Chain A
């Protein structure tokens, strides 16, 4: 491995570190719950590899446990994960010049967490798709390992040790701060927050994320005062 590649790997892993830290307790928790629902470590690994989407995996396992039909679990998964469509669209602004194969592999790793981390890095201007792919795949690897580890029934991390349960929330708070790059963005964030809170109280499931994001971004586009910050 030459120096360039080593640097890319190092930068990507370092940027992905907060995600990995947050995935460990959630992954372990998922493994424990999945095991209780009757899934073997192999079955857990297969789900984490083929689906790789935390919240929908939790929902699927609880539906398996309550003997839901295959089709209804798949439909629910679709609804829960539809938000990645918006994230993928947003990231596609930075992926010009990459080959179809690379894009197809990269797409697999788009999650709430990797999307947010990579986007901030792209805006800072120090990022490229190779480093972004390392972020995606290191998070993926940690997710697979921690879910399987949880599946062996081991609770070797006590509940909320060192406040680990809050790692992802704290990360999202900081990434949101990074995104507040001007008045237009603040307005959009406030609008999204209010809409999402109201919708989340009103409709079950998590479709409020997609609906509120679309409403807020659309209103934000019509809000013209400051042009810079592109």
Chain B
């Protein structure tokens, strides 16, 4: 791709990525919002995290298919329990990485 065309592409990609990030922050900030909407926004994080994480752990390939017993899913269970018990972010990251590394070694 030519540099000029590439720059146009990047400006387009940048704009369509930035605008959804910016619009709510800019217009909702400091505004009084109805209670039901605040309740709804309060649930968005847990919903997004769950929707991001679970399909990534439990599906594989393109087109996606179920792959329940793959290392990243198997490792997720003890990692989840560790997080639940310790509530330590750094600890969970280290434990998850170590278990995943171990699982990959066993498979090879």
**Does A178 touch B at the CB level, under 8 Å?**
yes
Mark contacts of A78-92 with chain B using CB atoms, 8 A cut-off: 1 yes-contact digit, 0 otherwise: 100111111111111
> Which residues of B sit under 8 angstroms from A157, Cβ to Cβ?
none
User: Which A residue's beta carbon lies closest to that of B94?
Assistant: A170
Q: Which of A74, A163, A230 touches B97 (beta carbons < 8 Å)?
A: A163
Contact between chains at A167 and B26 (CB < 8 Å) = no
Contact between chains at A107 and B18 (CB < 8 Å) = yes
The majority secondary structure among interface residues of chain B is helix
- Interface residues of B, count at CB 8 A: 77
**Does A6 touch B at the CB level, under 8 Å?**
no
Contact between chains at B16 and A77 (CB < 8 Å) = yes
Contact between chains at B21 and A70 (CB < 8 Å) = no
User: Which B residue's beta carbon lies closest to that of A213?
Assistant: B47
Contact between chains at B20 and A176 (CB < 8 Å) = no
- Identify the interface centre among B9, B25, B80, B95: most chain A CB within 10 Å of its CB: B25
Q: Which of B29, B44, B101 touches A98 (beta carbons < 8 Å)?
A: B29
Contact between chains at B43 and A51 (CB < 8 Å) = no
> Which residues of B sit under 8 angstroms from A53, Cβ to Cβ?
17
User: Which A residue's beta carbon lies closest to that of B46?
Assistant: A179
Q: Which of A43, A166, A174 touches B72 (beta carbons < 8 Å)?
A: A166
Mark contacts of A178-198 with chain B using CB atoms, 8 A cut-off: 1 yes-contact digit, 0 otherwise: 111000110011111101110
Q: Which of B33, B47, B89 touches A171 (beta carbons < 8 Å)?
A: B89
The majority secondary structure among interface residues of chain A is helix
Mark contacts of A38-62 with chain B using CB atoms, 8 A cut-off: 1 yes-contact digit, 0 otherwise: 1000010011001111001000100
Asked whether A90 and B45 contact (CB < 8 A) given A84-B20, A107-B26, the answer is yes
Contact between chains at B45 and A119 (CB < 8 Å) = yes
Ranked 6 nearest A-B pairs via Cβ: A170-B96, A163-B101, A163-B97, A166-B100, A50-B14, A96-B30
Residues of A within 8 A of B (CB): 17-18, 21-22, 38, 43, 46-47, 50-53, 56, 60, 64, 70-71, 73-75, 77-78, 81-93, 95-98, 100, 103-104, 106-108, 110, 112, 115-116, 119, 160, 162-167, 169-180, 184-185, 188-193, 195-197, 200-201, 204, 208-209, 212-214, 216-218, 220-221, 230
15 contacts between A and B (CB under 8 A): A17-B90, A21-B93, A38-B1, A73-B9, A88-B23, A90-B41, A96-B30, A106-B25, A169-B56, A169-B57, A172-B53, A173-B79, A177-B87, A197-B59, A201-B59
